[in-house]
Structure 1
């Protein structure tokens, strides 16, 4: 538990440092808050590893999966921030990661069970896809807010702290493309390795995931063929992400927390 509290503190500290840098000291170097964020991500991952060793297997139940997605989002955010001007992502992502980690730590949850390596591969691909596309959803919201502020000529500190609109949009579509590849691999491994969809109550999850995949695919095609951007890109991204959240966490919430099925 001390690891959880320290990691959560580092996440919140990193988020606060990002806000301070955006609104108060725009010229400050990013080194300290990046180090804080890296420490938080490392401790977050360490807590999962220790929990898996104690439980003799990888835990992928609801709160554990939520925490792992938060970890993936935080790691990707830190990577983006280290290579450019995307520290603003941390204002949203780091508190989410902290809350997800604390939720996992305090939840009892069902006992961990070992998975076949093929199903474990499918689960890891799914978590990576969800984390990547969740970051894309945050980027889409930031893009919408930036466009809205610029239309209203509201050049506040947080707007100036963001990268240029075209750069933010390019990063959004690159993130969606990576997430789309991971989601494609998730669906393929699901078809190959999951044997009985009906017995495992996976049909609705699969349908929603495929719908999300189609929406993301249509968005990428529209970007390539017709140059879709701006509000249209935001709406399609958030619609696809909503379907994905319902597919994975919605179904896990109902099955595990409402119906009590592992």
Structure 2
């Protein structure tokens, strides 16, 4: 009961911080700028509390528990922590509005659904690099997807010459595109590290239970590599960048969460 109450408190802190960021995006009255220290404080407390609960869930029993919902909670936490840190200096208030509720939702689901079977009690150092780089890659590229969606909406509004108040409150289109490709470069580097470390440290990266994950991850890597190459050589931007970003991330999510969904929740392995 105490853990559930603490979880609900963290969820409320996440939502309060997201509401504060939304007020800043909309430039609402009643001193929205003066709320920024409170917003940063609420978001920071939510992230710290989420980290505590995540540790108690994943480092439990005889081994590390990275079940479907725990993995989702971990990714939600990393995304929220990254965007909170970046929002201090970069114009990412709009992303914080979307990502902080995702952090709250993944935490809540992991608590409601409960833990699954734990993994091995010890993880080799090389495999730890693979797991960490994978989670970071999924998280950074997940933020990039949300940025791409905001960029698509902004581009559509400006193209039709009917920008809403939300669009007028966003940074310039060029700034938004630059932020997107900065995220994509970082995410691509982490994804490359994830694939290389998996190739080196996993006994058989194309084993039966890994072949779909590996294949789809490689497909995602090729998609992102093509997008970044097209950006450098042909100056790809706008809708082209959005479509390739969404396509690459869809393959990446199918690679990990699609495989875990089938194995854990459908086949119950």
Assess if the C-alpha contact under 8 Å between 2:147 and 2:180 holds in 1: yes
Q: Structure 1 residue aligned with 2:252, among 204, 219, 244?
A: 244
**Structure 2 gap segments, 5+ residues each:** none
Structure 2 partner of 1:47: 53
Within the alignment, does 1:73 sit opposite 2:79 as a pair? yes
Structure 1 partner of 2:125: 117
1:236 shift after superposition: 0.4
Q: Structure 2 residue aligned with 1:229, among 209, 234, 237?
A: 237
Within the alignment, does 1:11 sit opposite 2:14 as a pair? yes
Within the alignment, does 1:190 sit opposite 2:198 as a pair? yes
Moved more, 85-94 or 138-147: 85-94
- For 1:183 and 1:200, the matched residues in 2 are separated by 21
- What TM-score results when the alignment is normalised by the length of structure 2? 0.91
Within the alignment, does 1:256 sit opposite 2:264 as a pair? yes
Partner of 1:83, secondary structure, is coil
Assess if the C-alpha contact under 8 Å between 1:80 and 1:87 holds in 2: no
- For 1:138 and 1:77, the matched residues in 2 are separated by 11
Within the alignment, does 1:132 sit opposite 2:136 as a pair? no
Q: Structure 2 residue aligned with 1:100, among 99, 106, 127?
A: 106
**Distance of aligned partners of 1:256 and 1:74 in 2 relative to their CA distance in 1, 3 Å threshold:** same
Assess if the C-alpha contact under 8 Å between 2:65 and 2:115 holds in 1: no
- For 2:56 and 2:67, the matched residues in 1 are separated by 16
**Distance of aligned partners of 1:17 and 1:214 in 2 relative to their CA distance in 1, 3 Å threshold:** same
- For 1:57 and 1:161, the matched residues in 2 are separated by 47
Moved more, 247-256 or 108-117: 108-117
Assess if the C-alpha contact under 8 Å between 1:72 and 1:128 holds in 2: yes
- For 2:62 and 2:11, the matched residues in 1 are separated by 25
- For 2:143 and 2:59, the matched residues in 1 are separated by 29
1:156 shift after superposition: 2.4
1:202 shift after superposition: 0.5
- For 1:40 and 1:200, the matched residues in 2 are separated by 39
Assess if the C-alpha contact under 8 Å between 2:126 and 2:201 holds in 1: yes
**Structure 1 gap segments, 5+ residues each:** none
Report Cα offsets for 1:219-260 as digits up to 9, x if no partner: 111111111110100000000000001001001100111111
Structure 2 partner of 1:163: 171
Assess if the C-alpha contact under 8 Å between 1:74 and 1:97 holds in 2: yes
Compute the RMSD of aligned alpha carbons: 1.7
- For 1:100 and 1:27, the matched residues in 2 are separated by 28
Structure 2 partner of 1:149: 157
Moved more, 81-90 or 20-29: 20-29
Count of aligned residue pairs for this structure pair: 261
1:162 shift after superposition: 1.4
Structure 1 partner of 2:64: 58
**Distance of aligned partners of 1:28 and 1:156 in 2 relative to their CA distance in 1, 3 Å threshold:** farther
Structure 2 partner of 1:21: 24
